[in-house]
Structures are given as C-alpha cells and as structure tokens.
Structure 1
Amino acid sequence: MHKHRLGRTAVEITRLGVGGGPMAGLFAPMADATAAETLAAAWDGGIRYFDTSPHYGLGHSERRIGEFLRQRPRDSYVLSTKVGRLLVPQEAKGRMDPVGFHVPADHYRVRDFTRSGVRRSVEDSLERMGVDRFDVLFLHDAEDCFDDALRDGYPALAELRDEGLVRAIGAGMYDTSMLTTLVKETDVDVIMQSGGCTLLNQGAFETFLPACAERGVSVIAASIFNSGLTATPRPGPDAHFDYQPASAEMIQRAHRIADVCEAHGVTLRQAAMAFPLRHPVVAGIVVGMSSPGEARQDVEDFGVDVPEQVWTDLRDQGLLAPSLL
C-alpha cells in the first residue's frame, strides 16, 4: 500500500489507516476476539497506520490496538493517539459509558490541556498500550477549550517533539476555522480533520486546506463517510449525517452522487474514499472498521481506481465545486 510523508517529518503513513473508534464499541459492542481479527485483516491488507485515543471507549481502543501491535516489530507501523482527556477511575456500578461506547463506565473523562495533563496523558496511554513510543500525537476535540489547547496544549506537544519523544504533532478536530488558526499560528506537522474533506461536506477545501498547503502541513481525513451516509451504495431514510439523522435533502444529494458513480462502474463508498486524496496536502484517510469482513472490504474499495470522469460529472451537476478539481 502506498505511503505518504507527514509534513516536513520523516513519518510515513499508509494512505489508508485504521480509525480506533469501533475498536472500543462505538455504536455497537465489539468482542476482544473480533477486534483482534479485524486488526489482523487490516494488517494483512497492507495497512500500517493505526490511530486511537483515550477517549475511545475509556481506553479500550488503546488497550486492544496495543495488544495487537505489540506482536509486530515497532518500526513496521505508525501509531498515533491523542491528548486532552485524562481518564479517572471510578466504580462502574453496572453503568455503561454515556457517550456512545459500549463499555463499562469504569472511568470518567477530565478535560486537561495543561503541560502536566498532556504528559500524564501520554504516559497513561503508553502504559495502556504497552508500547515504548508514539509516532504522532494530536490535541483532541479542542473546540470547547481552544484557547487552552493553543496556549498550553500545543507548547506541551512541541516540547515532547523537541525532546525526541514523538516525531510529529498536530490536532484532531472538526472545526476548520479553529484548525486554520492553529495551522497559521503554530508549527504543527499534521492535522486530522473530521468530516470536512468529504463528498457531502467540502468546507475544508475553502480556507483550511490552502492554509495547510502554504504552511507545509499534512492532513489526514477522518469521518470520510459523514457517519455512514456515503458508506453504502444507497443510503436509506434512517441514515445519519455527522452523528445526527440525515435530512431528506442530504440523502437525496447522496443518491445523486451515487447515480454518477454507478454510471462509471464505481460505488458511492469507493468515491468517498478516493475523494479526499485528490487534494495534495491530504496524506491519507482513516476508516473505522467493525469486523474482519469490513476491513477487507475497506482495503478492496480503497484500491479501486475511480475514473476522472466521475469528478468531472459531479462538478458539472453542481455536486462538487469547480475549484476542487
């Protein structure tokens, strides 16, 4: 699988990576064995980039991915995790995690972008995963405390990079306006942008991606299916868009894009995976995988060559901005 270098660093990721949310029971429970088999299928398909976070299932994603990767040579893969939430132990008392992960609520999250909080988060993550280092660290979901992340969190990550404890730093967020500020005012290497480099939401292409190009910052596109709306050939009326029920207008738009794709022998899902990589600063995409079969399908769909005429026809029908081609 092709690799791409992140910014001005020496870190190279496979252009398709594993997103760690489903590994922690996001939307549906996942057994330990299923997680291990899914990661093995991704590895067998050539994927060598794995992204996770303490937030995902209160550490379950980190533990499961760490258990899998400890069986592989450390230099054979790239691993990223995130900072900004510390996990504090508590008694679950039969309760489940309240934010969508199907795991016991045996910890609770505390937002912390201070220097000490960032360092503690990294130490905790290293212990949970059982690895000796991370390749990439991201400030995570800092929209509600952006000033703290910019003032304290970024310098803490830069310090870790200067000390040689991590090779690349950045942020994983949704808000492209805040991310543009971060790119312009700091020396980050890579941004994981969620949901804005997609067929249905092209907002990141307006100012954010040009800012990254100007500053030499790479982008990893996440949530490329916008919560599943473009993950199936024909989304139904109960489809979701960005974690909310999709509007009839958005479903109709997805169907129009699917019509163009089908006319050229490709699927909506295949086009959704290929689209972000059309911009030169997008180094790769990460996709959540819930089963071995899904992992194999993702690898297969990612390898499909989408005809150039697809993008031309989408532009001609007003489904892509002319500036995106």
Structure 2
Amino acid sequence: MNVTETVPIGATGVRVTRLGLGLAPIGGLYSPVGEEQARATVEKAWELGIRYFDVAPLYGNGLSETRAGAVLRDKPREAYTLSTKVGRLLRSGGTDGQRIWAEPVELMPVFDFSADGVRTSYAESLTRLGLDRADLLHVHDPDDFFAQAAAEALPALVELRDQGRIGGVSVGMNQTRSLIEFVRTGMLDSVLAAGRYTLLDQSAGAELLPLCRSLGVSVIAAGVFNSGILADPRPDSTYDYGRAPAALVERALAIEEVCSSHGVPLRAAAIQFPMTHPAVTCVLVGARSPVEVADAVEMASMSIPSALWDDLRAAGLLA
C-alpha cells in the first residue's frame, strides 16, 4: 500500500491518504496519554506523510478533538483532510459515559441525532479543534436512532455540504445492517465501517461493500485490529472493546501462523487486508504514540504476496 497516495471520497472534492490516523487513542483510550504524547503522535503522522485524520466528540469526551486541533491548526489547511462525527453532544451530566476513557473531563456525551443537534455538535467540534471546517462528517453510531438519523441528521449534513461548510456526508458504525440502509438513502458520500471487514470478520463483504461500489460510495475501513486481537493475539486480547472469546483468539493465532509462513507480520496483513477489496478507499489505524504511528506506516507499506491471501482462504480462515 502506498500510504501517502491520495484518493477521492465518492464524487466529492475530498481526498484522503490511503492510510489515515484514527485519533480515539490520544483521547486516553484505556490508559492516559497526556498532552505531550498526543501532540507527538499527530506530529509523527504528519512527518510520515499521513494527511487524513479522524476524531470525534466521544473520543476522550472532547480530548481527541482539542489535542488534534492543537497540532493541525498550525498546518496548511488545504494540505490535509479532517473528519469528525455528530450524534453526541458533550454536556454536564451526560449519560452516555464510557469506562474506556482513562483521563477525567467535566463533560459527558448525550445522544442527539436531531437536525439542530448535529449542527450544534459540528459547531462545538470546530470550537474544540480551533478550525473553521471539517472535510467529512460521520453520523456516529446511530444504532438505536436509525429513523431520526435518516430523517433529520443526514438531511442536515447534506445541507451543510450544499452550503460548502463540509465536503462530504458519511455514517460510521460497527455493524453493517444499518449502514446498508443508510447507503440506500442516496445521501452518503462514504461510510466508515469499523471492524466489519477484517481478517476476523468479513461481514461487510457480503452486501455492504458491493452496494457501496455500485453506488460510488467510498468505504473507509476502521477497526482493522478488531480492538487489538489482530495486533497481538493472546488469551487476554480485546475484541470489539471486550475480552476476546477463546475461539477467536485461536483463529487469530492460526491466521498469524499462516502470515509467519510468508514472513509477514500479522499487523501488516491486518492493515492491508481491507484494501484487497475494490470498494475500500482507505484504512484508518488508531495510534497513541509516535512509535505506534511509525509501526502502522511500516506495516502498511510492507510488500505482501498474493499467495498469503490464497493460503488463508485455502485454510478456511478467510471467506
């Protein structure tokens, strides 16, 4: 994968590098990161040619946006692409708290997929970022709010796009069923599919990816390590933000063994596998340190023989 190659999102003027940096980890995912390390992480990505950055109000309850913005607002705005998300407002007494964020903050998220809510969310994100626009807006995890998101949130984002205040409209989710229905509305330029087209889970390949390809909707593949298990499979590995079932650990170890037979680290195969599908535009990889950014770039750039994918399929380890 040429990590610094830029490619278009749908029919928009937005372009992203093949490898993007997911910035949930610098919000203190699982353990504290701190301001200095967060800044160094974003700077390292910039140094290595990554020009697509993804944040969200949820990540660290605002920390990811403020920390990313502290670096990016000093870069030439036309030189990079930024996405953030809508659907949660940060408020005192918010009830959507998640225990995975390790650094204390005063505000907590509350769901709001109304038209006014997503417009307010975007405005507040820009304040935290210290920027005047984002390039892509993802409606974030509207699992239990499909009707409102389709009727209110998406039209509000389309209006922002038509006004030139954003470049593209997207939805980001950890499941495919609703993403398929959102794509069918005809309002999307892209989808962010987290964890659903990976070495362990190719469920997006059945219907979502072919549909997106046929309609010209770009697919951003995130969660390629399935929360960690595909970076380093072991009995206490994390899968989809919880402890990985033993059967999945065993499967990940079997995949790793095939990768090793080709001299390919599992991490490299995990990052590059989504790009084997023509519907996938880019891959987002999260990082919490400059070392992790450098490793992601190295793994994404490594040459992988096509025989590796063939052997995984022959072994029944890939669909």
Report the TM-score, using the length of structure 2 for normalisation.
0.96
Query: What TM-score, normalized by structure 1, do the two folds share?
Result: 0.94
Could you say which residue in structure 1 is the equivalent of 2:285?
287
SS at match of 1:144: coil
Q: What per-residue deviation string (whole Å, max 9, x for no partner) do you get for residues 72-91 of structure 1?
A: 00001000000000111369
**RMSD of equivalent CA atoms:** 1.2
Maintained 8 Å contact 2:70/2:130: yes
Number of paired residues? 314
Shift of residue 11 of structure 1? Answer: 1.0
- One-letter code of the match for 1:204? A
> Structure 1: which amino acid aligns with 2:150?
L
Q: What is the CA–CA distance in structure 2 between the aligned matches of 1:98 and 1:81, rounded to whole Å?
A: 19
Structure 1, unaligned runs of 5 or more: 92-96
**Deviation per residue, 1:219-278 (Å, 9 max, x gap):** 10111100111112xx11111211121122111111111111111110111000010011
The amino acid of 1:17's aligned partner reads: G
1:314 to 281, 297, 312: 312
Matches of 2:61 and 2:237, distance apart in 1: 27
2:229 corresponds in structure 1 to 229
Going from structure 1 to structure 2, the CA distance change for 1:98 and 1:256 (only over 3 Å counts) comes to closer
Which structure 2 residue ranges, 5 or more long, are not aligned? none
Deviation at 1:98, TM superposition (A): 4.2
Partner of 1:191: 191
Report the counterpart of residue 114 of structure 1 in structure 2: 114
Q: Does 1:151 align with 2:154?
A: no
Q: Which residue of 2 aligns with 1:214?
A: 214
The alignment partner of 1:219 has SS state of strand
Cα offset, 1:288, TM superposition: 1.0
State the Cα distance separating 1:39 from its structure 2 match. Answer: 0.9
Percent pairwise identity: 45
Question: How do 1:217-296 residues align onto structure 2 when only pairs under 5 Å count?
Answer: 217-232=217-232, 235-296=233-294
Q: Write out aligned runs for 1:167-178 (5 A).
A: 167-178=167-178
Contact kept, 8 Å, 2:20 with 2:282, in 1: the verdict is yes
Are 1:98 and 1:105, in contact at CA under 8 Å, matched by a contact in 2? no
Contact 1:194–1:221 (Cα < 8 Å) also in 2: yes
> Amino acid of the residue matched to residue 70 of structure 2?
E
Verify: 1:130 aligned to 2:130, yes or no. Answer: yes
Structure 1: how far apart are the matches of 2:246 and 2:108?
Answer: 37
- Matched with 1:77 is 80
**Correspondence for 2:20:** 17
Q: One-letter code of the match for 1:134?
A: A
SS at match of 2:131: coil
In structure 1, the residue corresponding to 2:50 is in which secondary structure? coil
